[in-house]
C-alpha cells in the first residue's frame, strides 16, 4: 500500500519507495530505502517536497501506519522548476539557452539581433512528480477525450463546419498537465496505437510527442499548450482532400503528391476561421514540412529561419508518421525511425534538435518491446535521463520465450550482468504484438 506524503510529515521507520524527482538527481544510491536517520531526512528535505511511502514495507506495517493511507495531499501545486542544480542540469540549461538563442538570432533578423539586448529565456527542468503506473489511469481518460475531440473536429471540418475549439483547448490543457506530471504515461498510450484511424491517431500522437519534446526543452505551460494545440492541427487540412488520395496504397505519383501538399494551405484556411489562434501555431502548421536544406514545402525555407517550434514540429510529424500504420508506406519501429532522423539530420532536420528529441523519448521509447542480450523479452517502462541506452525494462518472457511467473523490473542503468559476467544490453526491438504480448495488460492501476 503506497501513499504520497509531504516531507514535513515523514518519520523514522517509513519506507521511501518514490521521490518527486528522478533518483539519479539525488545522492541516494539505491531506489527505495527505510528512513532511519536524521541525516537521511535532512537530505530528503533538501532535494524533495514530497515522496511516496510504502506502508507495508515500513517498520510496523499497516497496523502502525495504516492511518497514512487517508492522508490527503495534492501534488499539483508542486509542479515547478527544479530548485537545485546538479552538474547535469546546469549543462542542460546552458545547452537549451544556446539553442534558443541560435534560433532567436535568425527570427529577429540576425544582422540586427546582435545589437539587441538578449532576453534570457525561461528554462524549466521538470521532474516526474507521479510514477507512470499512477499516471496511467488519468492519462487513459485524457487520451480518450483527446481522441474524441480530434475526431469530432475532423468530422466537422469535413462537413465545412467549424470545430468546437473550446473542447480542443480543454483536452490540450489536460494533456499538458499529464505530460508535466509524467510524460511516459501518454507516450506509453501512444505506443499502443489505440485508434485504427490514421488521421486521428497521427494527430494525437503528434500532439503527445510535441508536448513531451517541449517539456524536455524546458518550455513553460503556456508554450506547451501552443505545441500541443499545433500538434493536433498540423494536418487538419487533409480533411479537405479527396478520400481516395488519403487511402492511397503505395507511393504517390508526382501529381498526387502535388495535391497532397495543398493540405498545408487548407489547414491555414481552417485556422483562419478560428478565433485567437496564436501566431506560433500558424507558423508550425505552415512550416512543419519545410526542411533545413530548403527542399521542403510550401515555401522552401532554410536553416533556423524555419523557426524552433516549426523545426520541432517537422521532426515530430515525421517520426509519428513513420511509426504509424499507413497505407502508402511501411511502418517503422521507433528505433528505426530515430535512426532515419539521425541519418537525415543536417539535411532535412536540425541536428541539435534531432539529438534533443532522441534524448527526450529515449533511443528505445517507453512502450517499446525489446529483446535483451540475455534472451529475455520485455517492455521499456522508463528512461534513465543520463543514459538513454539503459532504460528500465519490465521483463515479460524468459530466454526460453516462456512467461515469467511474475513480471519484474530490470534497470539497465545498474549494469546487470549475465552468469558469464557479460553486461546485459538491448539486442533488438520487436514490433508491437510480437510473442502475443498484449501491452494493455501492463501498467494498469
Q: How far apart are CA 28 and CA 18, in angstroms?
A: 12
Q: Give the residue-averaged pLDDT of 240-252.
A: 80
CA distances to 82, 91, 216, 412 from 86, rounded to whole Å, are 10, 9, 16, 22
Cell matching residue 433: 504484438
Regarding whether 280 and 190 lie in a shared domain, the answer is yes
Return the percentage of the chain with pLDDT > 70, whole number. 86
Length of the chain: 445
Nearest Cα residue to 25 out of 127, 94, 124, 93: 127
At 335, which helix (H) or strand (E)? helix 334-344
Q: Give the residue-averaged pLDDT of 79-85.
A: 45
Q: What is the pLDDT of residue 80?
A: 42
Q: What CATH code is carried by the domain that includes residue 313?
A: 1.10.3210.10
Regarding whether 302 and 263 lie in a shared domain, the answer is yes
Q: Is residue 105 domain-resident? A: no
The domain boundary residue, chosen from 341, 361, 381: 361
pLDDT above 50: residue 100? yes
Q: Is residue 62 domain-resident? A: yes
In contact, 424 and 416? CB cutoff 8 Å: yes
Q: Read off the DSSP letter of residue 422.
A: P
Domain that holds residue 435: 369-441
Regarding whether 178 and 257 lie in a shared domain, the answer is yes
Q: Is residue 98 domain-resident? A: no
In contact, 392 and 364? CB cutoff 8 Å: no
CA count, 13 A, side-chain hemisphere, 77: 4
Q: List, for residues 209-242, the tens digit of each pLDDT value.
A: 999 999 999 999 999 999 999 999 999 999 898 8
Residue with cell 492519462: 139
Regarding whether 69 and 41 lie in a shared domain, the answer is yes
Q: What is the pLDDT of residue 252?
A: 81
Regarding whether 408 and 346 lie in a shared domain, the answer is no
Residue with cell 539557452: 97
Regarding whether 267 and 158 lie in a shared domain, the answer is yes
> Would you put residue 307 in left (φ > 0), alpha (ψ -120 to 50) or beta?
left
Regarding whether 307 and 252 lie in a shared domain, the answer is yes
Q: Is residue 274 domain-resident? A: yes
Q: How many domains does the chain have?
A: 3
- For 48-62, 111-125, 316-330, which range has the lowest pLDDT when averaged over its residues? 111-125
Q: What is the pLDDT of residue 113?
A: 44
Cell matching residue 279: 501566431
DSSP letters for 45-88: HHH-SEEEEETTTSTTHHHHHGGGGG-----GGG----SS--HH
Residue with cell 514535513: 8
Cell matching residue 372: 535483451
Q: Give the residue-averaged pLDDT of 396-403.
A: 93
At 326, which helix (H) or strand (E)? none
Q: Is residue 89 domain-resident? A: no
The domain boundary residue, chosen from 336, 361, 386: 361
Regarding whether 386 and 356 lie in a shared domain, the answer is no
- pLDDT band at 419; cut points 50, 70, 90: low
In contact, 325 and 199? CB cutoff 8 Å: no
Regarding whether 423 and 308 lie in a shared domain, the answer is no
pLDDT above 60: residue 79? no
Residue with cell 467549424: 162
Q: Is residue 202 domain-resident? A: yes
pLDDT above 60: residue 42? yes
Please indicate whether residue 436 or residue 213 has the higher confidence score (pLDDT): 213
- pLDDT band at 415; cut points 50, 70, 90: low
Q: What is the pLDDT of residue 48?
A: 83
Whether omega before 22 lies within 30 degrees of 0, making that bond cis, reads no
Q: Give the residue-averaged pLDDT of 86-99.
A: 79
Regarding whether 434 and 375 lie in a shared domain, the answer is yes
pLDDT above 80: residue 61? yes
The domain boundary residue, chosen from 305, 339, 361: 361
CA distances to 203, 285, 286 from 266, rounded to whole Å, are 16, 10, 10
Coil vs helix vs strand at 329: coil
Cell matching residue 410: 530490470
Q: List, for residues 305-330, the tens digit of each pLDDT value.
A: 999 999 999 999 999 999 887 766 78
Please indicate whether residue 12 or residue 130 has the higher confidence score (pLDDT): 12
Regarding whether 187 and 269 lie in a shared domain, the answer is yes
Regarding whether 178 and 306 lie in a shared domain, the answer is yes
Amino acid at each position: 500500500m503506497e501513499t504520497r506524503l509531504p516531507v514535513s510529515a515523514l518519520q523514522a521507520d517509513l519506507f521511501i519507495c518514490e521521490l518527486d524527482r528522478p533518483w539519479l538527481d539525488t545522492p541516494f544510491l539505491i531506489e527505495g530505502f527505510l528512513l532511519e536517520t536524521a541525516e537521511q531526512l535532512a537530505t530528503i528535505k533538501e532535494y524533495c517536497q514530497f515522496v511516496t511511502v510504502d506502508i507495508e514495507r515500513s517498520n510496523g506495517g499497516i497496523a502502525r501506519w495504516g492511518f497514512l493511507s487517508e492522508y490527503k495531499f495534492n501534488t499539483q501545486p508542486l509542479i515547478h522548476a527544479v530548485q537545485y542544480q546538479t552538474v547535469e542540469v546546469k549543462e542542460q540549461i546552458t545547452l537549451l539557452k544556446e539553442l534558443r538563442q541560435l534560433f532567436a538570432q535568425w527570427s529577429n533578423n540576425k544582422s540586427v539581433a546582435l545589437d539587441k539586448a538578449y532576453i534570457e529565456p525561461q528554462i524549466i527542468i521538470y521532474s516526474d512528480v507521479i510514477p507512470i503506473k499512477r499516471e496511467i489511469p488519468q492519462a487513459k481518460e485524457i487520451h480518450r477525450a483527446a481522441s474524441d475531440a480530434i475526431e469530432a473536429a475532423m468530422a466537422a471540418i469535413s462537413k465545412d463546419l467549424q470545430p468546437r475549439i473550446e473542447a480542443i483547448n480543454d483536452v490540450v490543457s489536460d494533456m499538458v498537465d499529464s505530460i508535466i506530471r509524467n510524460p511516459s504515461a501518454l507516450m506509453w498510450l501512444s505506443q499502443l496505437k489505440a485508434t485504427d484511424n490514421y488521421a486521428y491517431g497521427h494527430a494525437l500522437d503528434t500532439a503527445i510527442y510535441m508536448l513531451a519534446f517541449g517539456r524536455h526543452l524546458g518550455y513553460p505551460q503556456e508554450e506547451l499548450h501552443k505545441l500541443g494545440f499545433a500538434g493536433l492541427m498540423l494536418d487538419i487540412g487533409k480533411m479537405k482532400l479527396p478520400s481516395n488520395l488519403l487511402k492511397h496504397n503505395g507511393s504517390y505519383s508526382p501529381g498526387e503528391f502535388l495535391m497532397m501538399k495543398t493540405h498545408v494551405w487548407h489547414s491555414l484556411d481552417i485556422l483562419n476561421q478560428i478565433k485567437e489562434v496564436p501566431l506560433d501555431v500558424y507558423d508550425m502548421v505552415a512550416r512543419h514540412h519545410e526542411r533545413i536544406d530548403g527542399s521542403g514545402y510550401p515555401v522552401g525555407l532554410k536553416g533556423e529561419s524555419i523557426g524552433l517550434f516549426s523545426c520541432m514540429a517537422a521532426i515530430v510529424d515525421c517520426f509519428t508518421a513513420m511509426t504509424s500504420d499507413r497505407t502508402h508506406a511501411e511502418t517503422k519501429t521507433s528505433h528505426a525511425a530515430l535512426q532515419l532522423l539521425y541519418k537525415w539530420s543536417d539535411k532535412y532536420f536540425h541536428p541539435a534538435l534531432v539529438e534533443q528529441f532522441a534524448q527526450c523519448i529515449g533511443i528505445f521509447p517507453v512502450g517499446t518491446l525489446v529483446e535483451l542480450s540475455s534472451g529475455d523479452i520485455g517492455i521499456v517502462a522508463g528512461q534513465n535521463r543520463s543514459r538513454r541506452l539503459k532504460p528500465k525494462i519490465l521483463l515479460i518472457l524468459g530466454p526460453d520465450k516462456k512467461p515469467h511467473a511474475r513480471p519484474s523490473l530490470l534497470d539497465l542503468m545498474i549494469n546487470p550482468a549475465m552468469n558469464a559476467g557479460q553486461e546485459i544490453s538491448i539486442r533488438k526491438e520487436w514490433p508491437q504484438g510480437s510473442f502475443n504480448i498484449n501491452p494493455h495488460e501492463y501498467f494498469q492501476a
